[in-house]
């Protein structure tokens, strides 16, 4: 059974170019039954959203900027989120913003037992990222779109400007996580490793480093070894990993 999600988008703070990819990503985690975007729709800067909202069935919520320098959109989103929370119609929220003002909201929703997914740009402050159960960078979705639509010649040029290099910090995080869930022989089920990595670091995603899945990311790092085992309950092999 799908988890019902409320998707709340900060229209003032998120680029419109990849809204379709964002909605496809959100659908992986549940059924977006409530989809709202907040902004001052009298502002010409938001005009580019119009057709995208119709194509993706997102409801625009008008919020006038009452005072210069104050973000009324944030307040409207927070009030609506609490109304939705107490309506008991959803079991999770997706907050689409790069604004740290939503840190307390994400924390409050998780306190109420909600699953909270954040989506924003890499400039998003860390407090908001760690307040979510999972945080996904828009740049990942951008890279996926560019790769699927580009020709081979474009790929050869290495057009992945937003792909991060795996560093000693991430390798240490993976190694310690493997140790945390490993058996007496040091082997850990990769699914358990992935789940714990997400809890430790909500923005950990193999796509940040140019890999679609965790398995090829692990294989690319010489510090780890992988073992594929037969699965008596299914056709896919079970993948285990351990520190060398």
- Supply the DSSP symbol for 231: -
Neighbours of 105 (CB within 10 A): 22
Beta strands in 108-173 (DSSP E): 115-120, 134-137
Query: Is the alpha carbon torsion for 198, 98, 126, 93 positive or negative?
Result: negative
Q: How far is CA 184 from the centre of its chain?
A: 33
Task: Supply the pLDDT for residue 155.
Answer: 41
Q: Which contiguous run of DSSP H or E holds residue 66? A: none
Task: Supply the pLDDT for residue 242.
Answer: 94
- Supply the DSSP symbol for 164: P
pTM reported for the whole predicted model: 0.84
- Cα separations (Å) of 51 from 25, 54, 89, 176? 20, 5, 27, 47
Q: What share of the chain is helix, strand, coil (3-state, %, to 5)?
A: 45, 20, 35
Task: Supply the pLDDT for residue 1.
Answer: 56
Exposure pattern of 115-148 as b/e (b: 16+ CB <10 Å)? Answer: bbbbbbeeebeeebbbbbbbbbbbbbbbbbeeee
Residues of the chain whose pLDDT is less than 50?
69-70, 150-160
Out of 1.10.1040.10, 1.10.3660.10, 3.40.50.1010, 3.40.50.1860, select the CATH number for domain 4-146: 3.40.50.1010
Give the residue extent of every domain in the chain.
4-146, 168-243
Neighbours of 97 (CB within 10 A): 26
Instruction: Classify domain 168-243 by CATH architecture.
Output: 2-Layer Sandwich (3.30)
Q: Specify whether the CB–CB gap between 129 and 202 falls below 8 A.
A: yes
Task: Supply the pLDDT for residue 159.
Answer: 46
Give the residue from 144, 124, 227 showing the smallest Cα distance to 185.
227
């Amino acid at each position: 059974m799908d988890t019902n999600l409320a998707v709340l988008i900060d229209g003032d703070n998120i680029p419109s170019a990849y809204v379709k990819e964002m909605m496809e990503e959100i659908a992986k985690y549940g059924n977006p039954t409530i989809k709202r975007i907040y902004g001052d729709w009298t502002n010409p800067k938001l005009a580019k959203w119009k057709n995208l909202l119709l194509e993706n069935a997102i409801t625009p919520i008008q919020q006038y900027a009452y005072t210069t320098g104050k973000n009324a959109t944030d307040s409207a989103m927070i009030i609506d989120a609490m109304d939705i929370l107490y309506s008991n119609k959803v079991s999770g929220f997706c907050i689409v913003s790069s604004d740290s003002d939503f840190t307390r909201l994400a924390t409050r929703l998780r306190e109420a037992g909600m699953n909270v997914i954040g989506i924003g740009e890499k400039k998003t402050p860390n407090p908001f990222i760690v307040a979510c159960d999972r945080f996904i960078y828009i740049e990942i979705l951008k890279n996926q779109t560019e790769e699927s639509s580009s020709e081979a010649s474009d790929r050869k040029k290495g057009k992945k400007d937003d792909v991060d290099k795996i560093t000693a910090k991430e390798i240490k995080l993976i190694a310690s996580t493997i140790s945390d869930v490993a058996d007496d022989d040091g082997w850990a089920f990769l699914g358990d490793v992935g789940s714990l990595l997400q809890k430790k670091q909500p923005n950990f995603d193999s796509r940040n480093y140019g890999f679609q899945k965790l398995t090829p990311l692990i294989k690319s790092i010489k510090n780890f070894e992988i073992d594929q085992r037969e699965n008596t309950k299914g056709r896919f092999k079970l993948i285990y990993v351990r520190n060398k």
